[in-house]
Structure 1
Amino acid sequence: MTTSKKRNIVVIGGGSGLPVILRPLRDCNVEVTAIVTVADDGGSSGVIRNFMNIVPPGDIRNALVSLSLLPEDFLKIFQYRFDSSDEFFQNHALGNLIIAAMTEMSGDIFGAVQKLGRYMMISGKVYPVANVPLVLHADFTDGTIGSGEHEITMAHKVIERLSITTEAGQQPEPTSEVLFAIDHADMIVFGPGSLYTSILPNLVIPIVGRAVHQSNAKKVYIANIMTQKGETDHYTDASHIKAIYHNVSDHLLDYVLTNTAIVPEDYIDFQKWNEISTQVKVDTSEDKKLGVVPITGDFLKLRDQGAFHDGEKIAKELLEILDNKI
């Protein structure tokens, strides 16, 4: 008796959005590869990056946890963030320190993450998009420029174009494993996550952008639930697509998934979630003009006085696309 080969789904992104769909996809009959941005320079990741000159570990940590089959009690320890007043440990996640230690021991972030993935019994693969920390650069519409993910986010300005370099100002080189995963993908998923600081930092690496464009995989963009202050104010789902095309390449996407369930404003704590602004609206006619198939529905999950994607519903839609039912 023969068994059908599992299809390959590559998910590209970073931040807190990526794990939302990694966990449900992990439990489906597919091979999942997470390609994770390495441009983060804020919080615990930024401190470790600056002190040790290694790839920021936070987004990688979250991806590993999402795909891990270890008991939840262990994962809670790995995710534990120190609440100490100690100058060094304060706000550091234990997993970030473990990733940093393993990177220092092996001298290679990619090898360290693969080894840690085996220890954590992950179902799938987690690949940093590059082996060295990268620096994101933004040209703003007001003529100013910004460098560094944190600086760009805090500027709250409209971004005209992004680029990315190594800290030495050179063009980044993705690992061969990243390019292999893209080339052999049956589906490539972008997001959910911040358009300009989680998704595009991967795609504006020229070699990665070209590989994605040339891939025969079905390409799906998951539009954010809410816009981000200064970055994507008043963006529709089509506006996100146009930004990707403007920064990377036209005709890069096949589908866009957009939530149409109404986010109740009286539920959202805009002080707690102070980077969000208004709900992203769907523009199906513009989506179609861009050559992208719009898929709309209730993909909303309300929790902690915030608006998030329902990962289970998103995974179901992705499998429908993969099975040619959409």
Structure 2
Amino acid sequence: MARPHIVTIGGGTGHYTLLTGLRALDAQITAIVTMMDSGGSSGRLRDEYGLLPPGDFTRCLAALSSHPEAVKELFGHRFRAGSLGGHTVRNLLYTAVQEITGSVPLTVDRLHEIFAVKNRVLPVTADRVDLVMHLESDRVIRGEASIDTLADLLEAPVLSVYLDPEAAAYPPALAAIADADLIVLGPGDLFTSLVPNLLVQGVREAIAQSRAKVLYVCNLMTKPNETPGYTVGDFVGTMAMYLGEARLDAVLYNAVWASARLDHYASERSRPVPLGEPDALPEGLLATGDLLAEGRLIRHDPRKLAAAIEELARARGWW
């Protein structure tokens, strides 16, 4: 077959890691990026200029750049002080291009030229929306940044998340999903990086109607404010609930922890995601491997992750 078309859907550091690995494969890649960030540099620019938050979008452009190291060093530079303190060069570039073009599609195209990206990075929506979390205690928290920083303040489990107002999908993103051979969801924070994409009108339906295989890359660690005590089955069950009629064809999970340094994470009530009950997942859904990066931080290794995805796709005859 021709070069497979891999569509990734997500946000945050996990999405950047995934794309850093996939860019080395002989594949066409389209990254669809969450646009609900409301904190840090992205949140400030969104509030001051009325823009879509640029952080996740420009991070993915950097991951897929033809000159990744140079782009990471220069465009990833974060100013330390003054009126620009906290902003990255890539976010300011996004703001400048958006002011010049006044158009989301033109901004997307122009930034691909600036970042020297041959693949595609697309916003999941061009609408400005807020992510809202509803807890089982009936408490409501508005804004991705507020949700992400309340690690010690959530007194009850998450009941649901939704967008306010509702958002329509960016049409080129739906076209990419329709054309995909493989759709990869994750890795990333469940309720702030992954699920928000599935809440955008048209995305779940497009995934359900696509001929693509759908792969979910499960998180490595639980997160005390979002997924305390979650097992692989809990992550998969939540994804399945928000996917609706769309289905998962495989779940990729790290099963090798020999070199992991977990003391720091345990003090923050974050633990490796356990498999849980062996019959919690349908037979044949789970694929395991060594996906862990070396070092102090618990992260997916980009090369290992990309290699595992390619091996899984070939072993199952997806391409």
TM-score normalised over the length of structure 1: 0.90
- Indicate which of 78, 86, 94 corresponds to 1:99: 94
**Equivalent runs, 1:138-149 vs 2, <5 Å:** 138-149=133-144
The aligned amino acid for 1:76 is: E
Q: Which amino acid aligns with 1:224?
A: N
- Match for 1:65 among 49, 62, 65? 62
Task: Kindly provide the amino acid, as one letter, of the partner of residue 229 in structure 1.
Answer: P
CA contact (8 A) 1:263 1:279 kept: no
| Structure 2 match to 1:317 | 308
Aligned CA distance change for structure 1 residues 321 and 151 (closer, same or farther; 3 Å): same
Matches of residues 20-35 of structure 1 in structure 2 within 5 Å?
20-35=17-32
Residues 54 and 132 of structure 1 are in contact (CA less than 8 Å); yes or no, is this contact kept in structure 2?
no
How far did residue 310 of structure 1 move? 1.3
SS in 1 for 2:194: helix
Q: Which amino acid aligns with 1:103?
A: Q
Q: 1:155 to 1:26 in 2, by over 3 A?
A: same
Taking a change above 3 Å as real, the CA distance of residues 132 and 198 of structure 1, as seen in their structure-2 partners, is same
Query: CA shift at 1:177, angstroms?
Result: 0.5
2:2 is matched with which residue?
5
Instruction: Note the C-alpha offset of 1:108.
Output: 1.9
Q: Which amino acid aligns with 2:22?
A: L
Q: Quick one: which of 184, 190, 204 aligns to 1:189?
A: 184
Partner of 1:160: 159
Work out whether 1:296 is the aligned partner of 2:295: no
- Distance in 2 between residues matched to 1:48 and 1:57, nearest whole Å: 8
Per-residue CA distance 1:53-85 (angstroms, 9 max, x = gap): 10111101110010001262343110000112x
Letter in 1 for 2:272: Q
**Cα pair 2:62 2:68 within 8 Å, conserved:** no
For this pair of structures, how many residues does the alignment match? 313
Shift of 1:152: 1.8
Once the 2 structures are TM-superposed, how far is the Cα of residue 109 of structure 1 from its aligned partner? Answer: 2.7
What displacement does 1:256 show?
0.6
Which amino acid is the alignment partner of residue 307 of structure 1? I
1:241-260 equivalences in 2 (<5 Å) = 241-249=236-244, 252-260=247-255
Structure 2 CA distance, aligned partners of 1:82 and 1:263? 38
Contact 1:254 1:293 in 2 (8 A): yes
Q: Deviations over 1:124-167 (max 9, x none)?
A: 100011113321111111111111111222334321111113xx
Query: 1:108 and 2:108 equivalent?
Result: no
Q: 1:285: which partner in 2? A: 278
**Comparing 69-78 and 51-60, the one that deviates more:** 69-78
SS at match of 2:52: coil
**2:34 corresponding residue in structure 1:** 37
TM-score, normalising length: structure 2: 0.91
Alpha-carbon contact 2:255-2:290 (below 8 Å) kept: yes
5+ residue gaps, structure 2 = none
Q: Report if aligned partners of 2:62, 2:71 keep a CA contact under 8 Å in 1.
A: no
Aligned to 2:53: 56
Q: What's the counterpart of residue 213 of structure 1?
A: 208
8 A contact 1:10–1:35 mirrored in 2: yes
Give identity over the alignment, percent: 30
- Judge conservation of contact 1:16–1:193 (CA < 8 Å) in 2: yes
Q: Which residue of 2 aligns with 1:81?
A: 78
Aligned CA RMSD, in angstroms, stands at 2.1
Shift of residue 249, structure 1, vs aligned partner: 1.1
Aligned equivalents of 1:43 and 1:187: distance in 2? Answer: 32
Output the CA distance in 1 between the equivalents of 2:162 and 2:274. 27
- Whole-angstrom distance in 2 between the partners of 1:75 and 1:184: 30
Q: Which moved more, 1:188-197 or 1:202-211?
A: 202-211
Q: Which structure carries more strand by proportion?
A: 1
Shift, 1:287, TM fit: 4.8
CA distance in 2, matches of 1:178, 1:77: 28
Q: Following the alignment from structure 2 to structure 1, what is the Cα–Cα distance between the partners of residues 170 and 225?
A: 33
Pair 281,52 (structure 1): closer, same or farther in 2 beyond 3 Å? same
Q: Distance in 1 between matches of 2:275 and 2:235?
A: 11
> SS at 1:11's partner residue?
strand
TM-fit CA distance, 1:236: 1.0
